[in-house]
Chains A and B, each alone.
Chain A
Amino acid sequence: MTRLRADRRRPMTLLRAVVAELRKTATLPASAAATAVAVLGPLGITVLNAFSVRNAIRSGQPGLVAYTSPAEAAFSAAPLGTIGAIILGVVVISSEFTANSPDAGGGRQITATLAATPRRLVVLAAKAVAVVLNVLAAAAITLPACLFVADFVIGDLATPDDLGPTAARAAGAALYWTLTALMALAITVLTRSGVIPLIVLIVNSSLVSVSMVLTHVTTLAYYLPDAAGMRLFADDPLGEFEHALAPLTGGLVMAAWALGFLAVSSAVFTRRDA
């Protein structure tokens, strides 16, 4: 009897945990910073891209830029959103494990989290849901705003974009950000500290992508997590990435990676001492 009652409460527990995690992200300055990067980063780069396109066209030298479409100006700014998503995925976990100053008892938030929600899978699922909702909300604001700004700046000079493919690329970018955030979350569960995942993941998605370097060695590298989904939003105006996975295949491969990372981190998180 009591077992049955306890089991029926599970959806309630998950819902409560999700609401609690949403509150936690809403009141953590580091996650506000992550959202700011995800929203303002792409917008800023889009503006820069759009002005260089406009200037190139106005000066009669469109050959100076790789593209003249507003959508291209917007989506080539999407990696900044990836960085915001990485920060969010990392801090949602690392904030649980940062110790308070010894002056204040040196405790960590994970103690309070697991006291309120002792089922570890529920905690992890709630965190994943909160991250996904936050990233999708950021994407829903940022991507249309970027497209609008690019269109506004480049104006009539632009090569027009088709609505269908542009919407698909926007959805693809949102998916790419979401899956990246989930992988960052899963990796931070393993490290507990956010420092290494932040440095490695941000460098990898901004300065040098290890996967992209490896694609010069073998095209199999296009199956690596960050490379797999690149075509979800990135076009290939210069024809550099002919072996990259098609959007659908790539999206599925990337999703499989994210699920794999989450499975490993769940296994570790449920077994490890807090």
Chain B
Amino acid sequence: MLSISGLTKRHGPRTVLSDVTFQARPGRVTGFLGPNGAGKSSTLRILLGLDRPTAGTALIDGRPYRKLPDPIRAVGSMLDGSGAHRSRTARNHLAWVARAGGVPKRRIDEVLDQVGLAGAGRTRVGKFSLGMGQRLGLAAALLGEPAALVLDEPVNGLDPEGIRWIRGLLRGHADAGGTVLLSSHLMSEVAEITDDLVIIAGGRIVATGPLTEVIAGHATLEEAFFALTGADR
């Protein structure tokens, strides 16, 4: 379970997160929605130990990310694309990640195959398209066979086949008892994939709960989103 509680983040005088609290539960796909600049990436960065909160906690099964003994075997994550250096090949990128994370080498080929990059393992990441970079980021997230997946806009740049594939992947992951937390701007995708929703606007949570409850009283998720975030002006 991923538990975010009372999270506040300030950059100098700017408060970008105020008292953000929500959970992402095992067996469920949790969608994290909000307008540009609402604080989704900021929240996920704190959850992954990249940034420090000004106040509050973000825990993975009761522990902060930095205290996990084998972090990439507990949480697979992707923020801003692949995280691979442009002059390294996809395979060399995954190779060092596997080393650092204590993941057996055989997983490299398995995940390259799984994300559809089997033929691009020896290509420099600088030559990748947006969608290929995204797939490599997903490969790195899946490398350690983690119980939880934390993905910032994973669908961004994927082709129709890729979108269908990730839909199946995330559903399967949650159905097998895993936890999935993903941010996205694609309302129709989110409505199709997620079980639970967390909506953030201006650094504050404006709605959380099962998809059906959050949508209740609105025609579609999109309508609910605009009503809740006040972005429709």
Contact = CB atoms under 8 A, between A and B. Distances in A.
Contacts of B163: none
A114 B85 contact: no
Contacts of A116: 71-72, 97, 100-101
Interface in A235-274: 271, 273-274
Given A16-B102, A27-B92, A100-B133, A112 B84 contact: yes
B85 A104 contact: no
A6 B99 contact: no
Interface range for A: 35 or more
Interface string B80-106: 111111111100110111011110000
Contacts of A103: 129-130
Given A23-B92, A100-B125, A115-B48, A107 B79 contact: yes
A17 interface: yes
A5 B69 contact: yes
Interface in B189-214: none
A58 interface: no
Contact of A28 (B65, B71, B85): B85
A80 B156 CA distance: 46
A104 B157 CA distance: 9
Interface in B153-186: 156-157
Contacts of A6: 67, 69
B51 A274 contact: yes
Dominant secondary structure at the A interface: helix
A105 B157 contact: yes
Contact of B51 (A28, A95, A117, A273): A273
A170 to B, nearest CB: 32
Interface string B114-148: 00000000000110111011100100100000000
Contact of A104 (B67, B68, B130): B130
B185 to A, nearest CB: 15
Given A20-B99, A100-B81, A118-B68, A105 B137 contact: yes
Contact of A100 (B82, B100, B157): B82
A274 B50 contact: yes
Given A100-B86, A111-B80, A115-B72, A20 B100 contact: yes
23 contacts: A17-B100, A19-B99, A23-B96, A27-B88, A100-B82, A104-B82, A104-B86, A104-B133, A105-B80, A105-B157, A107-B80, A107-B84, A108-B83, A111-B83, A112-B82, A112-B140, A115-B140, A116-B100, A117-B71, A118-B68, A118-B71, A119-B66, A271-B52
Interface of B: 45, 48-52, 65-69, 71-72, 77, 79-89, 92-93, 95-97, 99-102, 125-126, 128-130, 132-134, 137, 140, 156-157
Given A9-B69, A16-B100, A23-B95, 15 more contacts: A16-B101, A20-B97, A23-B99, A27-B96, A28-B87, A104-B82, A105-B80, A105-B134, A105-B137, A107-B81, A107-B137, A115-B71, A115-B77, A117-B101, A118-B48
